[in-house]
Amino acid sequence: MNTKHTSIRQRWDKAKQTKSVTFWIAVAAIVVTLYFGFSRGGWMLGSSAQTMADRAAEDAVVARLAPICVAQFNQDPLSAEKMAELTAISSSVQRTTYVKDQGWATMPGETNPDNRVAAECARQVMLLE
């Protein structure tokens, strides 16, 4: 048969890959797509997205409540003396405990202080100095 006059169908039949080669090419394409999607494309599992959303929500709550804690510090009649005591404390953990013990990190309507709010409050109060 003359190669100049071969039909498209005949050329296609000659170029056709086997089923196993096609399968492995498809598997490789899927693996490459998943790799680049998750590592570089910003894809994530639903559980990872939920964890990020929870963390962002907690950060937002702390950011909104810490100024209330600072305001409660400012309303304390002994705030100047307590600022000196807080400044004398070198550990951030101890400062957080001090703020919690003073009741500044206990929000109105609540009975217990929030640890993260107290830590952020202590940081913000130290910036007032």
pLDDT in tens, 10-52: 777 776 667 788 889 999 999 999 999 999 998 999 999 999 9
23 in a domain, yes or no? yes
**Is the confidence at residue 54, as pLDDT, over 70?**
yes
Same domain, 17 and 64: no
- Given this model, what pLDDT does residue 7 score? 83
2 in a domain, yes or no? no
Q: Is the model's pTM score more than 0.85? A: no
The answer for 111, left when phi > 0, alpha when psi is -120 to 50, beta otherwise, is alpha
Q: Alpha-carbon Rg of the chain, whole angstroms?
A: 32
Same domain, 62 and 33: no
44 in a domain, yes or no? no
Q: What is the pLDDT of residues 66-106, one digit of tens each?
A: 999 999 999 999 999 999 999 999 999 999 999 999 999 99
**Number of domains observed in the structure of the chain:** 2
49 in a domain, yes or no? no
Which domain covers residue 78, as residue numbers? 55-128
93 in a domain, yes or no? yes
